[in-house]
Chain A
Amino acid sequence: MNSESFSQKKATALELLNIQLAIADQPILQDLTFDLEEGEILCLLGPSGCGKTTALKTIAGLATPQQGQIDLFGSTVFSETRLNLPAEQRSIGFIFQDYALFPHMTVGQNIAYGLSFLNKQDKQQRIKESLELVELPDIEHRYPHELSGGQQQRVAVARALAPKPKLLLMDEPFSNIDGQVKRRMMADLRRLLKEHDISCIFVTHAKEEAFAFADKTAVMIHGQIEQLDSPANVFNQPKTVAVAEFMESGNLATLKHSQQVLDAVSHQWPRDIDNSGYWLFKPQHITLRHSLQSTGIELIDSTYIGRGYQHEIAIRLNKSNDAPSITWKAETESPIDIPIGDNLALEYVSEPHWLQC
């Protein structure tokens, strides 16, 4: 009814409100709240054990939370007090990490499994369409074990999309595929979802997959969403230390240490921010200079990493020799002419990003 006033903004596909789930008193999901717009691709990104697969299964109806509410395209499918629509009635497509293709059925039978609402002719037509969609037109009569890993993945996609779900959930769909094939498959699948306006949530622990595939990324840590934003923002402007560390965004230091470490910054240190937060320094924006004085900053190692060189730097936190040290990373395009073990002076040639504890 509000569609007039929000004509620019798309409708909400999925809404999670304060979802709580514990298994044997062990909290898995804590106060999970987020929503997904129609046609949007969201990545649940996080370390293993953070609850991202459980979150996916909760949305699908394969796991039941203790508290909260889930709305799907405007109607509530789960609410702690009133209802819990069974998974088979939620009209959600799901792609499993191991694809879960039925081994005793042909590809065609696998796809037909979710199409019992169609008559024989339409079913056949839909199987053909689905296989064309994933560009595997001639494999209807083959068995899953006769296919390569990449083909199996595409059959899983075809099977999940055949009943035309409006929401597609994927659990680590690319983890069993490597390199070149994976990159092409992600691009193909993304185009397919966008063309058909299918909303999608997928789970992964690899940030590169989030960058390449998702519109938005939610970083999950300990059963909670720490930050939900575009992949670039999550990477470049992490909100918390946990996000920055998981995304490997760069070097972190408090204001005091930052001032001590860096000789020059193209930035005015703010006076009003006391020692509470952290500053994020990107490795590629740090310049290294050879210093003949003892600066407490030492080059430990230099490694070739393809796009350039990565340098490991140990920074002593005060002047005494046995003081604790932190390790930073800096990157340069060409090799530097500084012997390992020598002292350095550092400069930062960009604006650092400030984040909360």
Chain B
Amino acid sequence: MNVKTHTGSRNAGLTLSIITAIFCGIMLMPIIALLYESASSFFISDSLYSDDTFSDLADTVLWDYIKNSLTIVFGSLLFACFFAIAPAWWCAQYEFVGRRYLQWMMVFPLAIPAYISAYIYTDALDYAGPIQSSLRHLFSWQSPSDYWFIDIRSRWGASLMLGLALSPYIYLLLRNSFEQGSQSLSQAAQLMGASPRKIFWTIHLPLARPALAIGCTLVAMESLADYGTVQLFAISTLTTAIYDSWLVYGSLASAAKISCLTLLFVILLVAFEKNSRRKQQHFDSRGGKSHEKINVSKLKASFIWLFCGLVFSLGFLIPLITLMGYCLDYWLENINTDILRHSQSTFLLAVTAAFIATLLAVIFNSQQRFSPSAKNQSKLSLSSLGYAIPGTVLAIGILIPLGQLDIWINQFIQWLGFDKVGLILSGTSFALILAFVIRFSAISNGSIQAAYKQMPNNLDAASTMLKASRFKTFYKIHLPIMRPALMSAFLLVFIECVKELPASLLLRPFDFETLATYVYQFASDEQLEHAASGALLIITVSLLPILLLSRTQRMR
């Protein structure tokens, strides 16, 4: 009997091993497909590949696309740092009236997708928009030639929109880092005669540098991957080029090549990020008591509120109020069955993807927990790879193999003597769910991994010593303890799926919309007013994790 139970658990282990190995293969598939697709057209001069879209692009506008992409990444970083660093320092270091509210208000811009702000500010700053109209009225200007006005539909405008929406990443990481800085360090510096200014530059900032670097990489990756904002502003970047190559020119090969080019930049960013994270771990072990916040004068507090209030208004309040205004003005268009239908299908899709991603995260992490090995660890890291891949790139990487599979399936079915079944993989929600799972598994993995890290290994050993099998340990000990982590993993992936735009645009089945693509279609048709309720729904859903985060942090 003893032997039997032993082989039983070994069989289960083997099954899990195979499942995780297969999923790792699926994770890698898009990247391999992209490399294969771009390489094969280099080496095979088959008529099938006599597609010179890419070389045309390379000869003419590709360099401009790269330049635009990099300018926007750089610009977004500048704006995000400007909006985030000072508030992070103030909220971590000082005590003033309403700080508890302000420190969470600074995270709210994260809930507004950049393309929605972009639309709203374009509308407001337009020639016919309220600001220019009232200026003309005030100074009795007659035509555009009478005055200069900022053009929001530019690379810097796009950077501003992205910087506003992404600055909370830097803000959150930096504030955490500043708050963890142990008080004894700054007190030691103070006793050695350093001024507060010197302490900031020589102690706090250097210790927070890894956090700043990680925040910046996140912002850079997100702005590199952005599709909605730049497309709305008609700026050609690498992501729009991928999109157009496929949907306008119908060239999968050139889409694959531009994707590979984009991946190159991503790899550089990821390497930088990994390096910074290693340093952060080093700095994080400093321990010690955390800061007591310093009271500031009324004047300084007012200045802090002024600056942070401005960022909050620009990044959250103005877009939100405008959308509400749209909703009221066009309430008839905003309450229709379309929105209801699309919300339903989006939620169903997101629930499915979130469920699968959470389940996979549990499988991968529990496998590493029960039989820790380098192999299982690398599987785990591999399963988190997707987050770095921009949505457009991932979509192309999924279309290539699924399209080929569909061709084979149809040939096989015809060979069996049945009618063609059509694009059952690449033309259905399957592709979309696959993309979501690959892209957002990193989030669920992170959540479950953190839960396991906090769970002492001795609990497992204690369970074993009390004669529990692995399954019992997992079911009775692991699962109940990590229930909050399971919830947050599910919720976070769900929200990301609802918000996701570029991959959804490329992969959604014919005549199918997610909330994001629905709202975006209206925005790009200059009719966001008619889909404002959809946008508000996305924003509401996006606010959930922020509220959740603020609650758990307050409890701590």
- Residues of chain A whose beta carbon lies under 8 Å from any beta carbon of chain B: 57, 60-62, 85-89, 91-94, 96-98, 100-104, 113-114, 116, 159-160, 163
Identity of the chain B residue whose Cβ is nearest the Cβ of A97 in the assembled complex: B458
Least distance between B397 CB and chain A CB atoms (Å)? 38
Contact (Cβ within 8 A) A160 B456: no
Q: Does B196 contact A (CB under 8 A)?
A: no
Closest to A88 in B: B467
In contact, B459 and A100 (Cβ under 8 angstroms): yes
Q: Which residue of A lies closest to B464 (CB)?
A: A87
**Given known contacts A62-B461, A94-B462, is B469 in contact with A100 (CB within 8 Å)?**
no
Known: A104-B480, A104-B481. A89 touches B458 (CB 8 A): no
Contact of A160 among B465, B477, B481 (CB under 8 A): B465
User: Distance (Å) between the CB of B5 and the closest chain A CB?
Assistant: 8
B462 close to A89 (CB less than 8 A):
no
Say yes or no: is B71 at the interface (Cβ < 8 Å to chain A).
Answer: no
Assembled-state Cα–Cα distance A112/B476 (Å): 12
Whether, in the assembled complex, B2 has its beta carbon less than 8 Å from a beta carbon of chain A, the answer is: yes
Interface of A is mostly: loop
Residue of A nearest to B9 (CB): A86
**Once the chains bind, are B465 and A94 in contact (CB under 8 Å)?**
yes
Q: Are B468 and A113 in contact (CB under 8 A)?
A: yes
**Contacts A100-B456, A100-B459, A102-B459: A93 and B481 contacting too (C-beta < 8 A)?**
no
Additional A-B contact list (12), CB under 8 Å, known A94-B465, A102-B459: A60-B461, A62-B464, A85-B2, A91-B467, A93-B465, A98-B456, A100-B462, A103-B481, A113-B468, A114-B467, A114-B468, A163-B466
Q: Considering the complex, which residues of chain B in the window 183-219 have a beta carbon less than 8 Å from any beta carbon of chain A?
A: none
Binary interface encoding of chain B residues 497-519 relative to chain A, with 1 for a CB under 8 A from any of its CBs, else 0: 00000000000000000000000
User: Is B463 interfacial (CB-CB < 8 Å)?
Assistant: yes
Please tell me if the beta carbons of B481 and A116 are within 8 angstroms of each other in the complex: no
Nearest opposing residue in chain B for A61, CB measure? B464
Nearest neighbor of B455 in chain A, beta-carbon distance: A103
In the complex, what residues of A have CB within 8 A of residue B461's CB? 57, 60, 62, 87, 94, 96, 100
Residue of B nearest to A57 (CB): B461
CB distance from B465 to the nearest CB of A (A): 4
Which residue on chain B has the smallest CB distance to residue A113?
Answer: B466
CB distance from B371 to the nearest CB of A (A): 12
Known: A86-B6, A98-B458, A100-B456. A60 touches B465 (CB 8 A): yes
Q: Are A100 and B466 in contact (CB under 8 A)?
A: no
Q: Mark B447-459, 1 if CB is under 8 A from A, else 0.
A: 0000000001011
- B464, A88: Cβ atoms closer than 8 Å: yes
Known: A85-B2, A86-B6, A89-B2. A113 touches B463 (CB 8 A): yes
Are the C-beta atoms of B468 and A88 separated by less than 8 Å? yes
Q: A88 to B469, Cβ gap below 8 A?
A: yes
Closest Cβ of chain B: how far from A164's Cβ, in Å? 12
| Nearest chain B residue, comparing its CB with the CB of A116 | B467
Cβ-defined contact, B458 with A96, below 8 A: yes
CB-contact partner of B462 in A85, A96, A104, A116, under 8 A: A96
Residue of B nearest to A89 (CB): B2
- B465 pairs with A102, CB closer than 8 A: no
Q: How far is the CA of A92 from the CA of B481 in the complex (A)?
A: 25
CB atoms of B465 and A88 under 8 A apart = yes
Residues of A within 8 A of B476 (CB): 113
| A-B CB contact pairs (8 Å), 8 listed | A60-B461, A86-B464, A94-B461, A96-B458, A100-B462, A102-B462, A113-B466, A114-B465
Q: Are A102 and B477 closer than 8 Å at their CB atoms?
A: yes
Contacts of B469 in A (CB 8 A): 88
Complex interface: chain B residues within 8 A of A101 (CB): 462
Write the B464-489 contact mask toward A (1 if CB under 8 angstroms, else 0): 11111100000011001100000000
Give the interface centre of B6, B465, B477 by most chain A CB atoms within 10 Å. Answer: B465
